[in-house]
C-alpha cells in the first residue's frame, strides 16, 4: 500500500469516528429530551423499564434495545414494544 493510500484510509477512519461520535451524542441528547420519566437510568448510556413482567433495556446513544433476550435497533420498533409489549 502506498503512502497516499494509507493517508486516504486514515482520513476515512477519522471521518467515520467523528460521525459516529457526533451521531451518538445527538441520539443521546434527543433521548433525554423525549424522556417521559418512566426509565430507570443505570448510567447515562443504559436505561431500562418494566413492560408488564418483562424488562426492556435501552441504550439511547445507539438507539439499541433488548426485549425478551433479543437485541434490536430502532426507535419505531422500541416504541411498538412499549405500546403493545411485542415486536412482530
- Structure confidence by residue, pLDDT tens digits, 27-59: 999 999 999 999 999 999 999 999 989 999 999
Mean pLDDT of the chain: 92
Say whether 41 sits in a helix, a strand or coil: strand
Asked if residues 87 and 67 have their Cβ atoms less than 8 Å apart, the reply is: yes
Strand (E) or helix (H) holding 46: none
Give 69's DSSP letter: T
Residues 20, 82: Cα–Cα separation, whole Å: 27
pLDDT (0 to 100) of residue 18 = 97
User: What pTM value is reported for the model?
Assistant: 0.80
Domain boundaries, the chain: 3-84
pLDDT (0 to 100) of residue 87 = 60
Give the bridge partners for 8, in sequence order.
none
Percent of all residues in the chain with a pLDDT value above 90, rounded to a whole number: 83
Say whether 88 sits in a helix, a strand or coil: coil
Amino acid at each position: 500500500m502506498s503512502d497516499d493510500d494509507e493517508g486516504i484510509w486514515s482520513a476515512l477512519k477519522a471521518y467515520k469516528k467523528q460521525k459516529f461520535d457526533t451521531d451518538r451524542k445527538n441520539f443521546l441528547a434527543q433521548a433525554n429530551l423525549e424522556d417521559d420519566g418512566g426509565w430507570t437510568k443505570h448510567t447515562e448510556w443504559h436505561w431500562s423499564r418494566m413492560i408488564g413482567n418483562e424488562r426492556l433495556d435501552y441504550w439511547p446513544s445507539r438507539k439499541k434495545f433488548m426485549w425478551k433476550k433479543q437485541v434490536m435497533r430502532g426507535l419505531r420498533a422500541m416504541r411498538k414494544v412499549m405500546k403493545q409489549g411485542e415486536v412482530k
